[in-house]
Structure 1
Amino acid sequence: MSSLRFIALDSDLVQAWRAGAADANGQAPERQVSDGGGNPCRHCLNDIAEGAPMLVLAHRPFPAPQPYAELGPIFVHAEDCPRYRETAPVPAIFTRREAILMRGYGADDRIVYGTGKVIPTEEIGSRAAFLFQRPEIAYLHLRSASNNCYQCRIERG
């Protein structure tokens, strides 16, 4: 597992959204209050506590629009939170869930077909190691098993 890096959203990007910068749809992030029902922050990779302010916005976790560059809703804390350390183990946010979608992407930021699979969260490390044996896979995404929302990126360590 130490050979995996869990990549949270960049702090400068999150700070820009907190200051009102436009999201991937060109809109200002919406400010809401978390109901505590599983609103994962993509910056600290922790759930946003009930009653805490959060931002809801559209995010495209790819460098440029193209047919495989999915865009979807995400949450981030509206207030400062520490960015998840890339060298940490599997973030607890995922171990508290039953299942997660893992999908591989090539260096061209396109899906590597046959890699997408909903897995039990305890298999994140082993499945990632298995997929990274394939040289055409540049990185992985973890996504919501139920809604396909982007959670974080995994890279080789």
Structure 2
Amino acid sequence: MTTTNHSAALPITPRALKDLRTTDDAGRPTTPFTDTEGGAPLRCCLRRAAPGERIALVSYAPLRRWASERHVDPGAYDEQGPVFIHAEECGGPDTDALPFADSHRTVRRYSAEGRILGGRLVTGPAAVEQALTEALDDPAVELVHVRAVEYGCFLYEVRREGAMRGDQEVCGD
């Protein structure tokens, strides 16, 4: 990333992935399948699936997991939604490039208490980058989610550079 006030896009943590590969955040068993066409946006490695990869579509509650690490209650802002992940452990992201920024995105801001502070509709990598910088320039913003507009799906989170993460390791076990 080109700015210095925020970290790179963060994939789902290995700890959460381990859980999700068995049972998703809605309590359903995970059912892997082969992505015959490819293109699914994988939240474990922040890239699109290649044809023939084994993946799973699971329900994920990113704010709930974040809030539980901090012992805060996000209240009604606790939501879960569908995300694609590799069915088995993968190597995580292999680039620092801003992923999934080539379409309309929502950059959603959250407070330290897990409350939504606002959001912004953006299009394209430069606009996503600018929205992330502006969000994290606001001292009230603790966490930012980047989401797909068409389905509202969580894509990844971004935090201030050096911010602690409950599971610091972002790839592997």
TM-score, L = length of structure 1: 0.84
Equivalent of residue 72 in structure 1, options 81, 87, 102: 81
Q: For the residues of structure 1 that align with 2:148 and 2:131, how far apart are their CA atoms?
A: 16
Query: 1:12 — aligned with what?
Result: 15
Instruction: State the Cα distance separating 1:35 from its structure 2 match.
Output: 4.0
| C-alpha contact 1:36 1:47 (8 A) present in aligned 2 | no
* Deviating more after overlay: 99-108 vs 7-16: 7-16
Instruction: State the Cα distance separating 1:116 from its structure 2 match.
Output: 3.2
Query: 1:124 — aligned with what?
Result: 128
Query: 2:108 — aligned with what?
Result: 103
Q: For the residues of structure 1 that align with 2:110 and 2:43, how far apart are their CA atoms?
A: 19
| C-alpha contact 1:62 1:69 (8 A) present in aligned 2 | yes
Q: Deviations over 1:41-87 (max 9, x none)?
A: 111111111121101110100235630112100000112211237xx
Structure 1 stretches of 4+ moved >6 Å: none
Q: RMSD over aligned Cα, in angstroms? A: 2.0
Q: Deviations over 1:5-58 (max 9, x none)?
A: 22111112212333x2x2111111121222445311111111111121101110
Structure 2: gaps of 5 or more residues = 69-73, 162-173
Structure 1: gaps of 5 or more residues = none
Query: In the comparison of the two structures, how many residue pairs are matched?
Result: 150
